[in-house]
């Protein structure tokens, strides 16, 4: 398998004659970029574009990914399949954009990256993460106001890895379910995404 440094993901219902898709395909072919196009229910039945890997709805459903079977159609969230497909080839960078964004000359230029520690909390309940960055009395939208005066727990420890990220997000979503801000179907989608992520990263 050729080493792919970059992958590009777009979801669209446009045809292969779309000028922006053609432009991205031309650049991808020249620069050895894995260009992944995710179609949807309204996409044309035939789609062929040199320099791009097109995944029709039927092809998506044939993938051995849990998410491909439960994602809604006619929905932007299908782009998540594109990310998972891209990860199989283990690129250094995954770029996502839309079919109405014309790429500038520096679109694929190397971007600077920084590493940031992340933390998980055990039985800490609501945590105002803004307190890690400022002493100002501010909080994220949706934060439980009755918890604003709760000090940061001393039990927060740095941990990395998909499992820890998954568990933290699942706990967060369970809180949102209790507040009637998210339903169990959305939680099922999130869980499927992480199971698929774990699977593709093993390859």
Run of H or E including 35? strand 34-38
For residue 124, what pLDDT is reported? 66
Q: Where are the domains of the chain?
A: 6-96, 119-200
Site of tokens 């994220």:
140
For residues 103 and 158, the model is more confident at: 103
**pLDDT, tens digit, for every residue of 129-173?**
888 778 888 998 888 888 888 877 655 555 555 455 555 555 566
Provide the percentage of residues in the chain whose pLDDT is more than 70. 77
Residues in the chain: 203
Is pLDDT at 7 greater than 90 in this prediction?
A: yes
Is pLDDT at 119 greater than 70 in this prediction?
A: no
pTM of the model: 0.70
The band of 194, judged by pLDDT with boundaries at 50, 70 and 90, is confident
The band of 71, judged by pLDDT with boundaries at 50, 70 and 90, is very high
Run of H or E including 200? helix 184-200
**pLDDT, tens digit, for every residue of 12-61?**
999 999 999 999 999 999 999 999 999 999 999 999 999 999 999 999 99
Average pLDDT on 116-128 reads 68
| 29 and 106 Cβ atoms separated by less than 8 Å | no
Site of tokens 């694929």:
108
The band of 11, judged by pLDDT with boundaries at 50, 70 and 90, is very high
For residues 184 and 170, the model is more confident at: 184
DSSP letter at 145 equals: G
Run of H or E including 131? none
What span, in angstroms and rounded, lies between the C-alpha atoms of 134 and 124? 20
């Amino acid at each position: 398998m050729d080493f792919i440094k970059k992958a590009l993901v777009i979801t669209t219902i446009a045809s292969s004659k779309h000028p922006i898709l053609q432009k991205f395909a031309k650049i991808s072919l020249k620069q050895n970029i894995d260009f992944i196009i995710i179609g949807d229910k309204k996409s044309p039945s035939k789609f062929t574009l040199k320099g791009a890997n097109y995944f029709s709805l039927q092809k998506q459903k044939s993938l051995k990914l849990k998410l491909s079977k439960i994602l809604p159609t006619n929905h932007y969230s299908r782009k998540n399949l594109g990310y998972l497909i891209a990860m199989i080839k283990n690129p250094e960078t995954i770029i996502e954009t839309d079919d109405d964004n014309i790429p500038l000359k520096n679109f694929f230029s190397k971007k600077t990256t920084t590493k940031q520690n992340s933390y998980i909390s055990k039985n800490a309940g609501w945590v105002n993460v803004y307190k890690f960055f400022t002493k100002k009395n501010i909080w994220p939208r949706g934060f439980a106001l009755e918890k604003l005066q709760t000090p940061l727990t001393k039990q927060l420890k740095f941990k990395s890895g998909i499992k820890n990220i998954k568990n933290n997000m699942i706990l967060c979503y369970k809180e949102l379910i209790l507040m009637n801000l998210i339903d169990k179907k959305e939680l099922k989608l999130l869980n499927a995404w992480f199971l698929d992520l774990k699977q593709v990263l093993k390859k």
